Amino acid sequence: MPAVGVLTGNVVGDPGAQMRVEAFQQGLTDRGWVANQNYRLEVRWPGPDPARQKLEALELVAAAPDVLFSTSTGSTRALRDATQRIPIVFVGLSDPVGTGLVANLARPAGNLTGFSLYEHSMSGKWLGLLKDMVPGMSHAALLFNPESAPYGPFYVQAAHQMESRLGLKIAGASVRSGPEMAGAIETAARTGGGLVVLPDGGFFGTHSAMAIALLAQRRVPAIFAVRFYASNGGLMSYGADLTQQFRDGAGYVDRLLRGADISTLPVQFATRFEFVINMKTARALGLTVPSRLLLDAELIE
């Protein structure tokens, strides 16, 4: 039987990541591929740690699957370093060109292709929505882990270009652990600032329950790139449908299993975005949601 190897950037038990991997598997089922009946599926959960990702990538490649599937910049890089022969389909990446993974979006020249979520200019959109929600806010920070989200500084650089337009003093909040993340939240609370939680490469999911609870306790407004966090207590999110990208990724894996050449599968960017506000959290933070945001958003009560 043909085989598919999956390397995530998440830890086992992460409910959002588990849901998305299940969507990927369902996408294959919808195309006629039933795990353990006409193909083999192996999923690895190394989390965002680069050393662990490298080890798991080497073990996956040693099993010689027909196609590899990755869900973060770190896991994609680990697989690329482990093989230049087995085709790799990625989803959920930010700037695959800037991070050196892909040279040609239209016709991939190596063994990588897939689906990218955001460009760096998206930081302006997140900050604008945060400012609309809290008009008196004067400070904001972009939260990211430089190991799992090496593209973070590019978002910060783009955000600085919006400072005068938004009337915000913007900083990067580089964190590598749960305590450092808690420290960034405490800093935002002291300064009366807000947070943009950048696409996280698997890191934030590990600490999301703690962070969302602390954001509420310290009354810090935050916007997320992934809907899952707004659905689970975060104030709001704006981003592409990440689960749909996993389904789209299944389409590319299907075509490769059926003999397609990876150079004929261009890297695609998300085109549809959704804005979500958690009204319960907004009320708990004492925020009055402006009518213009209510008109544009899907509301979670």
Q: What is the pLDDT of residues 105-129, one digit of tens each?
A: 888 888 999 999 877 889 999 999 9
Residue positions counted in the chain: 301
Q: What is the pLDDT of residue 272?
A: 82
Task: Give the HSE-up count for residue 159: Cα atoms under 13 Å, Cβ half-sphere.
Answer: 29
Q: Is the predicted pLDDT of residue 204 greater than 90, yes or no?
A: no
Residue 202 has pLDDT above 80, yes or no: no
Query: Does the pLDDT at position 104 exceed 90?
Result: no
Q: Please tell me whether residues 86 and 213 are part of one structural domain.
A: no
- Mean of pLDDT over the chain: 93
Q: Does 201 score more than 80 pLDDT? A: no
Query: What is the distance of C-alpha 119 from the center of its chain?
Result: 12
pLDDT at 223 > cutoff 90: yes
Looking at the fold, whether 137 and 256 belong to one and the same domain comes out as no
15 and 162 part of one domain: no
Q: 189 and 82, same structural domain? A: no
For the chain, what is the domain count? Answer: 2
Round to whole Å and give the CA distance between 67 and 169: 45
Q: Which domain holds residue 263?
A: 3-118+241-272
CB count, 10 Å around CB of 190?
11
We report the CATH number of the domain holding residue 43 as 3.40.50.2300
- Residues 136-154 have a mean pLDDT of 91
Q: Are residues 265 and 161 in the same domain?
A: no
* Burial of residue 182 (number of CB atoms within 10 Å: 0-12, 13-18, 19+): middle
For the residues of 152-221, what is the DSSP string, one character each? Answer: HHHHHHHHHTTHHHHT-EEEEEE--SHHHHHHHHHHHHHHT-EEEE---TTHHHHHHHHHHHHHHHTT--
Please state the pTM of the whole predicted model.
0.84
Between the CA of residue 158 and those of 14, 129, 202, what are the distances in Å? 30, 16, 22
112 plus 22 within the same structural domain: yes
Model pLDDT, residue 106: 86
Q: Which amino acid is at 67?
A: V
Look up residue 153 and give its amino acid.
P
- Cα four-point dihedral sign 276, 277, 278, 279: negative
Do the Cβ atoms of 276 and 298 come closer than 8 Å?
A: yes
Confidence of residue 8 (pLDDT cuts 50, 70, 90): very high
Whether the predicted pLDDT of 301 surpasses 80: no
Whether residues 284 and 176 fall in one domain = yes
Instruction: Looking at the structure, tell me whether residues 163 and 256 fall in a common domain.
Output: no
Question: Confidence class of residue 195 from pLDDT cuts 50, 70 and 90?
Answer: very high
DSSP assigned state of 285: T
* Same domain assignment for residues 39 and 168: no
pLDDT > 90? residue 200 = no
Same-domain check for residues 35 and 139? no
Same domain, 22 and 126: no
Same domain, 278 and 179: yes
Question: With 90 as the cut, is the pLDDT of residue 266 above it?
Answer: yes
